Structure 1
């Protein structure tokens, strides 16, 4: 498949899940349900740097695996690049389930469970649920929706 054909496919999939204003469409309800079903499959797995499962994970690998298996066509990458690829949240949506939370200057990420906890891959705990207590709250860098930005897939003339 050519690069142009691949980009057209990504654009089509991105527009399917996302309208051009960057807000999730009705199809997003299916994504949230799939994320909810996928997360338990990968909890309690050991941490291993540069791994994306299914038996071991680092933080961005865990987030990637859950998103990818839930139908979000995101490529495996670092927390920093993932932050740039995903859609922003509004202030009222920030701590909603399945949003991606980023910490420590984009060196760690996880998936929000609720306003008080999140899923992530920890060096000490492996893939687990942690509370958004004082320590983690002070380290929050930003929060994004689990959808790709449509504007990332513009084409240039060749």
Structure 2
């Protein structure tokens, strides 16, 4: 009986020891969770600086498209200023009305129409139309069509058939201009330029300023005795 009590007591002690050992081992292997501590109370209200700090304002959403307007571009000025025109400034009618034509209005208009109908036709020396012209042939054919008839001849010969004119009379419409030592001639349009048969451009208008300025040798008008009609005389107006 005593032996049985001893065995039971020993069994209880062994079991209790085993349980204690197991609990102690589990406690050592369990992860420790360290709760952080704050130096300030958790429910402390925000400081005065945080309360008064301005909050950034939210930008409103764009509803309209952005249009970029470039500054107005100033007109660029030409590098070279034109000092002469590429065509006659004054019309034959205006010249005749102002008394600035050698011939009457009707004759001046006939001369103008004859020039325009030949405009651009190429130059060939010694010809007088209708498909090619040289300088004197062009002048002769234009005057023929306007009713002013005279014998076809060279520029130098036509100078001898003309009365020289000076001053403002040189620039009346229909006056003859002689150039290049009387080797070239044309019909005055106004004070700015003349019509002629150019070896490079054909029948054209050229300004006096520039290339031709120093090549002019004289201005003249056909003498009445060399023309077979008087319909083109200035006094017929």
Interval of TM-score (by shorter of Structure 1 and Structure 2): 0.7 to 0.9
Structure 2 distance, partners of 1:81, 1:63, is: 13
The answer to whether the 8 Å contact 1:120/1:127 transfers is yes
Bigger strand share: 1
Deviation at 1:97, TM superposition (A): 1.3
Q: How does 1:82-97 map to 2 (within 5 A)?
A: 82-97=158-173
Structure 1 distance, partners of 2:199, 2:147, is: 27
Aligned to 1:125: 201
Aligned to 2:149: 73
Q: Give the paired residue count.
A: 126
Bigger helix share: 1
Flag structure 1 segments of 5+ consecutive residues without an equivalent.
Answer: 1-26, 154-158
Over the residues paired in the alignment, what is the CA RMSD in angstroms? Answer: 2.1
Greater relative contact order (Cα 8 A, min sep 6): structure 1 or 2?
A: 1
Q: How does 1:53-68 map to 2 (within 5 A)?
A: 53-68=129-144
Deviation at 1:148, TM superposition (A): 3.0
Relative to the length of structure 2, the TM-score reads 0.49
Residue-by-residue CA offset, 1:51-80 (whole Å, 9 max, x unaligned): 001110001100111111111111110000
Deviation at 1:141, TM superposition (A): 0.8
Q: Which has the larger radius of gyration?
A: 2
Structure 2 distance, partners of 1:106, 1:151, is: 19
The answer to whether the 8 Å contact 1:79/1:102 transfers is yes
Aligned to 1:36: 112
Structure 2 distance, partners of 1:50, 1:151, is: 21
